[in-house]
Amino acid sequence: MYNDYAELRNELVTGKVSCTDIVKYYLGNIEKGKHLNAFLLIFKEEALKRAEEIDSKLKAGTAGKLAGMVIAVKDVLSLKGYKLTCSSKILENFEALYTAAAVQRLLDEDAIIIGKTNCDEFAMGSSNENSAYGSVLNPVDNTRVPGGSSGGSAAAVAADMCMVSLGTDTGGSIRQPAAFCGIIGLKPTYGRVSRYGLTAFASSFDSIGPFAKNIHDAALVLEVMAGKDKNDSTSVELSVESYSQNIESINPATIKIGIVEDLDDEGLQPEIKESMNQAAEFLKNKGCEIVPVKLPNLKYSIQAYYILTTAEASSNLARYDGARYGLRAKDSAILEDMYVNSRTEGFGPEVKRRIMLGTYVLSHGYYDAYYKKAQKVRRLIKDDFRNVFEKVDFILTPTTPTTAFKLGEKTNDPLAMYLNDVYTTSSNLSGNPALSIPAGNDNSGLPIGLQVIGKDFDEAGILRLGNLLMNRK
């Protein structure tokens, strides 16, 4: 088992192992962990073939930055010529026509894509139980959910089925599963990574980011993926830092950490609160200044998030009508029936709920009361963050109110499921980068995650602070 890419790279360069060995190793683990249902597609032949090619490049000294890094990709990201289902029945047989920019950049640096991972349908969910292809099990405790929506990607890294994986985060879908599975998950600033080739859920929220076991690997992958892309006008023209360099260079005495005073901690599990306190204490002892801060509008974030994202989703998902691509219901007498029947058969219950909610909040007579108001709240939350980041460098919060819950525990109560996102949605509303790092276990041995939120485009900073917290002695 390789805990970090630098170690592997060293062995690849010195010839101690080959990419073929590595691919075989991960394929073996995928086979062993089949019951977890983390993968929807496995690229066995292709990965082995690519391993051979990259082995030759390594010998010739022409291999890219990620040579031999085995990566799994959430099945909402396109890879040309391969199925792209978004874990939905409506796209069951759809093949991607082009490759997502983020994935292409990894391929260009000689990463090996090992497969596509299971997730909640169209990335809507917090438990991976909304997949048309079955739930994913948490590798730490198979009776529990891995989190969602990027549950397969998190489980794949946690169960050592790949070194790194890609997920997407619209309201916590990278950070929450990372916390539930005991690994690192990074949501970059909105606009840092191109969304070209990512199937849209809520376009003004969606971000692509890595899952990894250590900060260096997450940093390296981000550094390769990030940057302006001409095919995504919301990707930002800002130079990309070498995130993987100087991760250890941090001077705690110059750092101010915000702890949110008015955070809703009613449903917060005591062990997570304890883990937060320990982290704050550690940072204080290291010399950081701990500053109590207020984010008064944070309490509205779940409501604003579920109004705005469902509104955007109702528009984005209008394209699945049975006419252009994806599932087409048979035996419809007229065109309208075909639309209705295809969508009725193709979408699962959570996706339907969100399309209806979104259509409602955008409809005449309700637009001002819901959609417009939620937009205003979004602005207030962004302003809250702006104000706080004038005083502090980072904000530290729990990632989730509880550790991984049982499969089936919340499936009949959408509100309870939505409340799981209480600490994560705010940084999607505001766009700020946020990182979840493992921080101990609860009394049942389940992983706890802590979240570091940073200033816009300060991925380097949150990675450094995350590294400091992960290497506590």
In the numeric block, the tokens 């405790």 are attached to 141
Counting contacts by CB under 6 A, is residue 149 touching ligand GLN? yes
Task: State the DSSP H helix or E strand holding residue 11, giving kind and residue range, or none if neither.
Answer: helix 5-13
Q: Are strands 289-293 and 256-260 parallel, antiparallel or unpaired?
A: parallel
Distance CA 450, CA 394 (A): 13
| Cβ proximity to ligand GLN, 125 vs 449, nearer residue | 125
Tell the smallest beta-carbon distance from residue 277 to ligand GLN (Å).
26
| Cβ proximity to ligand GLN, 180 vs 196, nearer residue | 180
Options 118-126, 220-228, 358-366, 368-376: segment touching ligand GLN (CB under 6 A): 118-126
Distance CA 411, CA 79 (A): 31
Residues within window 301-320 making contact with ligand GLN, judged by CB under 6 A:
309
Where are the extended beta strands (E) located within 188-288? 207-212, 256-260
Output the six-digit token pair for 172: 């916590």
Backbone angles phi, psi at 446, to 5 degrees: -85, 140
Task: State the DSSP H helix or E strand holding residue 69, giving kind and residue range, or none if neither.
Answer: none
**SS3 (DSSP) at 229:** strand
Distance CA 463, CA 467 (A): 6
> Which one among 51, 54, 96, 124 touches ligand GLN, defined by CB under 6 A?
124
Options 38-46, 168-176, 292-300, 443-451: segment touching ligand GLN (CB under 6 A): 168-176
Counting contacts by CB under 6 A, is residue 169 touching ligand GLN? yes
Options 170-178, 216-224, 236-244, 285-293: segment touching ligand GLN (CB under 6 A): 170-178
**Is 426 exposed, middle or buried (CB count within 10 Å of its CB: 0-12, 13-18, 19+)?**
buried
Q: Is the torsion defined by CA of 345, 350, 351, 357 positive or negative?
A: positive
Q: Mask: binding to ligand GLN, 190-209, rule CB under 6 A, as x and -?
A: -----------x--------
> Which one among 33, 115, 146, 171 touches ligand GLN, defined by CB under 6 A?
171
Q: Mask: binding to ligand GLN, 374-413, rule CB under 6 A, as x and -?
A: ----------------------------------------
| Cβ proximity to ligand GLN, 125 vs 146, nearer residue | 125
Counting contacts by CB under 6 A, is residue 125 touching ligand GLN? yes
> Which one among 37, 99, 138, 170 touches ligand GLN, defined by CB under 6 A?
170
How distant, in Å, are the alpha carbons of 189, 337, 339, 340 from that of 333? Answer: 47, 7, 11, 11
- Judged by the rule CB under 6 A, the positions of this chain that interact with ligand GLN are 123-126, 149, 168-173, 201, 309, 421
